[in-house]
Structure 1
Amino acid sequence: MAQLAKAFFLSLSCFISYMEPGNHTESPEFILLGFSEEAELQPLLFGLFLSMYLVTFTGNLLIILAITTDSHLHTPMYFFLSNLSFADICFTSTTVPRMLLNIQMQNQVITYEECVTQMHFFILFGCLDNLLLTVMAYDRFMAICHPLHYTVIMNPRSCGLLLLACWLLTFLDSLLQTLMVLRLTFCTELEISHFFCEVNQVVQLACSDTFLNDLALHLTTGLLGVVPLTGILFSYMKIVSSILKISSAGGKYKAFSTCGSHLSVVSLFYGTGLGVFLGSAVIENSRASAIASVMYTVVTPMLNPFIYSLRNKDIKQALRKLFT
């Protein structure tokens, strides 16, 4: 995983070094306005986001270690869960550390190269989160609706191919969005009403034509947003239908418990993401959008380990073994 991420970073750096932003001789600089410019609130914001980041990093890292070290958890469901935890760590790490550094240094400026790089990896790991949740829904669908064929279909090779497909699709999406931004020309007034370089707000700051950027953004959002969500909803419709056919109450509870944690995470991820999307459509370029974005960029990755550990006996046992 680390080598793949490193390769992505190197390829992106090459694109940035050879493609200048428009006709400018010098790269522009962006100003991240963040949440508040009041000096007395900066220590509070620093402490709050540092705490949330440490909890997110530690919680997801423990999930990865527990799954890796416990042979009983070497199953498709936990294989994808460990990758989801890895994606959550990287997703949060693309935005929060930079914001903490800006608060500590009392400097809101981010260079063009840093902004594009942050945007690239934010799209990459955010989309990876989305696709992994979709694959995990498919895994639960096969386990509950087709239990006799589960081990044959969800074999290690199939799981590896599904993971590879998730990485390739997300990398192509993030690379496309990055290249589309690199073709733009930026003028003055480069203030971003956010705590990170959000692609839509960066595009709005361009003084060149952004029609192709808007078209690419809407197409990829439809393909990699709506289609996976539709797949998740379809999977859970079939899962609920199969659970209702189970005669015993104990059997229904056991079947539902295997997908309850995933359903909670999906609801949290898509609920907060959809809320931010709808809110930004009403209030554009506002700090209210930045505050709302904290829910799916920071809070959701922080809560995922708690949801899976508190509702899952296997994870609890693995964590106990990890500390004994």
Structure 2
Amino acid sequence: MTVTDPLRTAPPHRRRGRNRRPAWEEPPSTAGQVFRGGVLTGVVLAVLVPLWVVLVTSLASRQTINEAGGLVLVPREIDFSAYRAIFAGGLVTQALWISTLITVAGTAVSLVLTVLAAYGLSRPGSVAHRGLLFYFLLTFLIYPGMVPSYLVVTGLGLKNEIWALVLPTAISVFNLVVVRAFFQNIPAELLDSARIDGAGEFRILARIVLPLSRAVIAVVGLFYAVGYWNVWFNALLYIDDNSKFPIQRVLQSFILAGQSPNNAGTLGVSMPPTLAIKMAVVVVTVSPIVLVYPFVQRHFVKGVIIGAVKG
């Protein structure tokens, strides 16, 4: 007696391949595939080409920039004089340290406050649950103006203090809502079983909720870190001391206001081209976020989509 394989004897229309399309979806045409490939290639080039031009221009010599008439697309030689110039005076180095301090401290404070608030608001039986949730959501519609915010910050004695760049933006309501929705997706039976075993709320949060929420915490942490790293308007309002300027404030003052980020003007004839110095400051400013982003990018779909959609 011969035993037949049901998968081999099944009709072709019943076999399911990994790449089988639904019955209602038409197979892709050659023109459609070429069009989509062209669009994706154009998007990638629109992102990479400006970054490439900035990097190449920052490493170009005066002669190369003059021959190109400005921004350089094709490199000819590597010249690090622009980077030596911006780090010579020490202001850029100090600004990088200030920005790193603001980013690390601000992200830590924001994550702690956001996680605690989101966990409390995700529990239906918490104290003043509806009132606090309405208070947070109300900030989507009513946002304080620049003048009231300035009066509050200066009234608290935070003028020319690093905390003036952290505390006013410590909690983002959007991030709070995303984290709260993610916490609500955690099965309540899991938390109830921990309470039966005698675990308190802080222990449940630290030992159960946070390990299950690494994706959304990584994404929200990246959002906060990018926001603190790119802060410049609040620094323009609250920071007058040059020694406390973050890197974005230095970049803004140099590129837009035409000020020098250090004493590079004292270099005389050996001073690199101004355009190369500007592009070097841009590279130094963008590089940390570009280097960190690939390590967090894989959490975006799981952290944001699952956290934003309540099933």
TM-score (norm 1): 0.27
Which has more radius of gyration? 2
Higher helix share: 1
